[in-house]
């Protein structure tokens, strides 16, 4: 599995697949919802997390965006 994932990752990194922005936006929102759930399990809200990290919601979305795009690219490959 690790070898297969590494191969897929290398192919995806070299791929010139154009991923539509709305598709990436949806993946970012899914990641954000997952983060909300994980934080809630620890008794923390996203808003509290943002205050602690000195970020706003747009900055957090921007931080999550590259990884969401990478995962989408890999799944498409």
Give the length of the chain: 77
Q: What is the pLDDT of residue 33?
A: 97
Residue that has been written with the tokens 């490959």 in this structure: 77
Answer for the pair 49, 40: CB distance below 8 angstroms, yes or no.
no
Residue that has been written with the tokens 């997390």 in this structure: 49
Is pTM beyond 0.85? Reply is no
Give mean pLDDT, residues 17-27.
92
The rounded percent of the chain whose pLDDT value lies above 90 is 65
The C-alpha atoms of residue 64 and residue 16 are separated, in whole angstroms, by 21
């Amino acid at each position: 599995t690790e070898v297969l994932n590494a191969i897929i990752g290398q192919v995806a990194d070299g791929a010139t697949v154009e991923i539509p922005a709305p598709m990436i936006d949806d993946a970012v929102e899914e990641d954000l919802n997952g983060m909300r759930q994980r934080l809630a399990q620890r008794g923390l809200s996203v808003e509290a997390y943002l205050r602690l990290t000195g970020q706003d919601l747009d900055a957090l979305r921007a931080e999550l965006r590259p990884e969401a795009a990478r995962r989408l690219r890999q799944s498409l490959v």
